[in-house]
Amino acid sequence: MSKQEKIKEEIGAIKSYLGFVIAFIITIGAGVIKIYLDESSDYLLWLGIIGVLVLSVVFSFLAKLMHNKINNLEDL
């Protein structure tokens, strides 16, 4: 496998991970909204908010990594 093909495979894998992270953010976000509207548990509400924030940071990191890989692909 050439270096270019390897980088393309890594970009594809990162795209999949980004999809999972987005799905988790949407799911946890919906749960946080439901907990907020029901006024049921402050602990779970804050845990969900922190989870969404952490996943947002992970998303940003993966997006930056993917763009760096794409730029490295251009240099080849």
DSSP label at 39? Answer: T
H helix intervals, the chain? 3-38, 42-75
Q: What is the pLDDT of residues 5-39, one digit of tens each?
A: 888 899 999 999 999 999 999 999 999 999 999 98
CA pair distance 75, 73, nearest whole angstrom: 5
Whole-structure pTM value: 0.82
Q: What is the pLDDT of residues 44-56, one digit of tens each?
A: 999 999 999 999 9
